[in-house]
Chain A
């Protein structure tokens, strides 16, 4: 009997230390949506059920091992079957499982109900960035890692005030209080869009569209990462969601729409060399640099050098079409949907004139637009 008490006390101690660990950031977050709260509660209920089962089962086991040890003259019982005991040890797990399944099913059905959304956002995974398309709003963007490569390589110290490897140039902006439906797909391999605070971890699969939805309760910045190993820069495609009040969101969306329209108008005009170079350096720094490197040296053989690349220098047509269409069977993706004509023209011009590539020629956005429409 005393042993049993000791074991129970031990179990209590275990539960207590678990509680402490959970309260100190070792647990999943409660999150900022109604469903993330429900998922958290389910997780906790099931967790404590598992702890109770563990304590009871191992308690009985250790108690029996100790109390009925051979040195005290215990004799093993020798019987083959006992239907009553078997019925009991089958019925108890059955009841526990059904008891857990009932609330879990209720939550699961809510999670799958993406109907009647106020806003649709397409989330497209790409090696190694995310693209967000506000469907029907005329606003789309590419979200790249904002941590400088020099910090990643260790050439300069990590900026402690920033969110190392968890910061992007373009966060996904969402309104609070509205039902937002996400449509997930991928351009190349399987990625997974994972934001713990929103209780979403959804695979993006090329050729398939997955659905999920959120209604965020609180404005704030919520960070996540790609959760499906997708290649060499898997760790460098973080997710940042910025949830804002509805009016702020509408204003943001309108300004983005305006900027996109302005950019579209800029396609037809003649661009100066210096403008293209400036814009191209920006685009290169967010999109190309992870493979082709800061100084255009690449990382052969998978990622060829651009600086001093003979084919690139001699053939501007080939250069432009490679950026637009990618290289089939190689790591180079097609940028026809990721970058707009201005960005493609700028980055081609930049790579033809940077790091000693002094071709002096430029590619105009209008030429790229023409190719894209072919």
Chain B
């Protein structure tokens, strides 16, 4: 679980260790990555909205 989150975070950031990437592709199943990706996209949208609200105060 934590491994999936870490890998999705790395994908959002755009940088991943080669070894970790290999491991994810060889051992992981795709569905948990997809779910984590969608959820994290929502969190990102929330964060951007939060920054926008704070910025205009």
Contact = CB atoms under 8 A, between A and B. Distances in A.
A87 interface: yes
Interface stretch (A101-109, A343-351, A363-371): A101-109
Contacts of A373: none
A83 B55 contact: no
Q: Is the interface of B mostly helix, strand, loop or mixed?
A: helix
B17 A83 contact: yes
A317 interface: no
A328 interface: no
Nearest to B14: A90
A102 B17 contact: no
Contact of B51 (A81, A83, A98): A98
B14 A106 contact: no
Interface string A82-95: 01001100100000
A109 B52 contact: yes
A86 B15 contact: yes
Interface residues of A, number: 14
Interface in B1-43: 13-18
Nearest to A91: B13
Contacts of A110: 56
Interface string A278-315: 00000000000000000000000000000000000000
A87 B56 contact: no
Report which residue of B18, B54, B56 has the largest number of chain A beta carbons within 10 angstroms of its beta carbon.
B56
Contacts of B55: 101-103, 105-106, 109
Contacts of A80: 18
Interface of B: 13-18, 51-52, 54-56
Interface of A: 80-81, 83, 86-87, 90, 98, 101-103, 105-106, 109-110
